[in-house]
Structure 1
Amino acid sequence: MKHLFIISLLLVFAFQNKGLSQVKKAKHVILIGFDGLGSYAFPKAEMPNLKKLMEGGSYSLEARTVLPSSSAVNWASMLMGAGPTAHGFTEWGSKTPEIPPYEVTKYGIFPSIFSLIRDQNPKAKTAAIFSWGGIGPLVEKDAIDVVYNGETEDLCLDRAIEVIKEGETTFMFLHLSEPDGVGHNIGHDTPEYYEELKTVDSKIKQIVDAVASAGLTEETIIMLSSDHGGVGKGHGGKSLEEIYIPWIISGPGVKTNHQINDLIMTYDTGATIAWILGLDVPQSWRGKPVGDSFDSY
């Protein structure tokens, strides 16, 4: 009887950890952030590579930004697992916190996914590659192996592909500035905006192809999201066109062709990455892993 009880416990433990073992196949996580990519555009957008990523994974087109629906505050929230009243970055171009952060790491700002990785897995390599200089103040540079602020999107993409092909980086964040530039200069929901989305889609293909050519597809999770959408030539407001952003995840252990109906906030992104990599999160984080995107959670 005692032996049966022990066997039952082992079976329960194995069942509960089935999903965790599947996700642990992922040795690499790539987070691609497209500035100003609003979910409102997806029904009209000609983006076969993006839609293939969605079909091969889990997705929501109703993930939400924090307010204001602007850049720095939302990129910070995405990477820091909490909202602006916790991390302190509250504006479009915040370079220093306007609100004193709840806590500050030894790297000088509120804890992000980068410091979690560095402190809990010092041998893991990370990269932050970005085309907008406003990302710089939001990342803990001393906790990151590769920090690259490229002058153009193409340079950033080339550097990201180099990092992927090296096959050593556990987590990479790639920020690209479009389609935000077109949104500001010409307008959201315009023919020019949708034309730019074709270029955005080609960049997704280059990243996916780089992962495949490096032989890393079976051990890499690719995530894709944005900081905000837009209306007219702007953003920052409270309309759904501004606050609804895509949230897409694909890779080992992830449900396929699955639409996530749970509420996703942008700060859940950092928490999901931490869960995939088996990291403990600080008490100050408010994000939680998007468990419905995994085969078992």
Structure 2
Amino acid sequence: ELPNLKWLISNGSIVAIDVLRVTDTKAGWAQILTGYEPEKTGVYSNSKYQPIPEGFTIFERLEEHFGRDNIVTVAVISKKNNLGTEGPKKIPLKKVKSQINVKKLRKENIIVENGIRYIVDKGEPYYYTKNNVDVFINGLGSDENVGNKALQLLRKYKDRRFFFFIHFGEVDAKGHKFGENSKEYTEALISADFWLGKIIEELKSLGLYDNTLIYITADHGFDEGLTSHNDAPYVFLATNDKGIIRRGTRVDIAPTILKRFGLDLNKIDPPLDGHPLTEPYSPPLW
């Protein structure tokens, strides 16, 4: 039922991505798009996060390496909140009491000014990133909106070196609403595959496919038969990159991409936590 994913794999490979940390969106994409663990990005989960330090993402590494005029970086994103760009803010606690469990709030997230208690939000993960990406669009919603915008921008930048991050969110939305293995969840997977096919088709029609590497992955899986992903560490990386030789973790994806663009990973500061999937690597035993 996923012919385009199957075709891509037949022209490349598929490997397991082992999720060793929290299986949610903020933590997942922060690791995937930076190559760093939460201790360096400050993005631990959907509820514990801060803006990713400026310069840490794939987009920014590529802009720095090639120069702003020599590459186009694009993010076309379904979701808004968990891939958000809002800056620091404080909210009177009484305004949100009905929406949250106050007892679960960390003490450092609450301040008191003039007798009023506030929740302090340090800002969303891509607050700094958005200003260093040529096109950063989030909150597009449906796969159709995301897919059409991605195709439009591929045509616009067909004559430029580019890096695109294209995020389809319907699989996650349907999983939360109807559950993993539901008819609706399966239909969302088929929808994502349809748009993968449209993107491949567009790259071919523009004469770009043979010089473009495609990496398909996810931030997390779903708890079997449920509408949650509290313990859903089973993810994959499917690609037309024939050089992928091993399984890895979410932080290995960014180094793989940066290496393919020709960056010297040894010069990146702070050192990446991940390692390219094109090279052998055995994690330390302790």
Q: Which TM-score tier does this pair reach, normalised by the shorter chain? A: 0.7 to 0.9
Residues 208-260 of structure 1: per-residue CA shift (max 9 Å, x gap):
111111110111001110000011110132xxxx1111101215xx25xx8x5
- 1:211 and 2:203 are equivalent in the alignment: yes
Partner of 1:89: helix, strand, or coil? coil
2:261 corresponds to 1:277? yes
CA contact (8 A) 1:127 1:169 kept: no
Residue 200 of structure 1: aligned partner: 192
CA distance in 2, matches of 1:170, 1:282: 23
Coordinate RMSD, CA, aligned: 2.0
Q: Of 69, 83, 98, which aligns to 1:135?
A: 83
Partners of 1:74 and 1:227 within 8 A in 2: yes
TM-score by length of 1: 0.72
* Other-structure match for 1:266: 250
Distance 2:247 2:215 in 1: 17
Matched, 1:57 2:47: no
2:34 to 80, 87, 92: 80
CA distance in 1, matches of 2:29, 2:47: 10
Paired residue secondary structure (2:271) = coil
Mapped to 2, the partners of 1:277 and 1:136 lie a distance apart of: 26
Tell me the number of residue pairs that the alignment of Structure 1 and Structure 2 aligns. Answer: 228
Residue type at the aligned position of 1:117: L
Greater relative contact order (Cα < 8 A, sep 6+)? 1
- Residue 46 of structure 2 is matched in structure 1 by 92
Q: Which amino acid aligns with 2:218?
A: S
Shift of 1:148: 1.3
1:71/1:228 contact within 8 Å kept: yes
* In structure 1, distance between residues paired with 2:25 and 2:222: 11
Q: Secondary structure at the match of 1:179?
A: helix
User: Residue 170 in 1 paired to residue 162 in 2?
Assistant: yes
Q: In structure 2, the residue corresponding to 1:158 is in which secondary structure?
A: helix
Q: Stretches of 4+ moved more than 6 A in 1?
A: none
Structure 1 residue corresponding to 2:71, chosen from 124, 140, 144: 124
Within 5 Å, give how 1:100-119 maps onto structure 2: 104-105=53-54, 111-119=56-64
In 2, the alpha carbon distance for the partners of 1:208 and 1:148 equals 21
> Is contact 1:163-1:169 (8 Å) kept?
no
Q: 1:228 to 1:91 in 2, by over 3 A?
A: same
Q: CA deviation at 1:50?
A: 0.6
State the alpha-carbon separation in 1 of the partners of residues 141 and 177 from structure 2. 19
How far, CA to CA, are the matches of 1:160 and 1:169 in structure 2?
Answer: 15
Which residue in the other structure is 1:236 paired with?
Answer: 230
Give the TM-score of the pair, scaled to structure 2: 0.74
Q: Is the 8 A contact 1:71 1:93 kept in 2?
A: no
Query: Following the alignment from structure 1 to structure 2, what is the Cα–Cα distance between the partners of residues 282 and 131?
Result: 30
Equivalent residues of 1:148, 1:156 under 8 A apart: no
Separation in 2 of the partners of 1:270 and 1:209?
A: 25
Q: CA deviation at 1:263?
A: 3.3
Q: C-alpha displacement at 1:77, in angstroms?
A: 0.4
Q: What SS does the corresponding residue of 1:221 show, helix, strand or coil?
A: coil
Unaligned runs of 5+ in 1: 1-45
What is the deviation of 1:129?
0.8
